[in-house]
Structure 1
Amino acid sequence: VLVHTAFDLIPLFIFIGGGATMSALYLGRLALRNPDVSWDRKNNPEPWNNLEPTQQYKLFKVNMDYSKLKKNGPDF
């Protein structure tokens, strides 16, 4: 069945392609921006210790102002 003869399948391909694209982009964001992922274990074995309390790494912030947070732990 060719797509140009079955017009009912066009929305299916659009939504499946969009969902696959969004999931690939989210996976890439998790791999590159998440502090739990360590790409360079020799020079930066614990990247979560280099985070400032004002740095936002979550995708969404809900009622949170990161600029007003204070560091409550020791420096590593």
Structure 2
Amino acid sequence: MIRLALEHAKKHPGLIPQFLVVLLGIGGASTYLFRLANGPHVNWNKKNNPEPWNQLEPTYQYKFLAIDTDYKNLKKEGPHF
């Protein structure tokens, strides 16, 4: 596959920047996923700690998605037919 890409790049040198951008994107996505999977609260040891959420402090702040909605503009009645 790499040999085919190199042969194609030799025939069409304008594709070399595109190959580099794609490789940079794949490398960045791989790095991001690796860092995400090895975060501070990720536990891969399931034998010694099958329920890791029980070891968190009671004051631990979980991340939730909060959507600010203005409830005054919402209709309270159903549609009129």
Q: Structure 1 length normalisation: TM-score? A: 0.53
Structure 2 unaligned blocks of 5 or more? 1-6, 61-81
SS of aligned partner of 2:11? coil
Match of 1:49 among 48, 56, 69: 56
Is 1:16 aligned with 2:2?
no
- Please state which structure has a larger fraction of its residues in helix: 2
For residues 40 and 32 of structure 2, what CA distance do their matches in structure 1 show?
11
In the TM superposition, what are the counterparts of 1:20-39 in structure 2 within 5 Å? 20-35=26-41, 37-39=42-44
Whole-angstrom distance in 2 between the partners of 1:12 and 1:31 = 29
1:73 and 1:23 mapped to 2: Cα distance?
A: 33
Aligned-pair Cα RMSD in Å: 2.7
TM (norm. structure 2) is 0.50
Which 4+ residue blocks in structure 1 deviate beyond 3 angstroms?
Answer: none
Gaps of 5+ in 1: 51-71
| Fraction of identical pairs, as percent | 29
Which one has more relative contact order, counting CA pairs under 8 Å at least 6 apart?
Answer: 1
Cα distance, 1:34 vs. partner?
Answer: 4.7
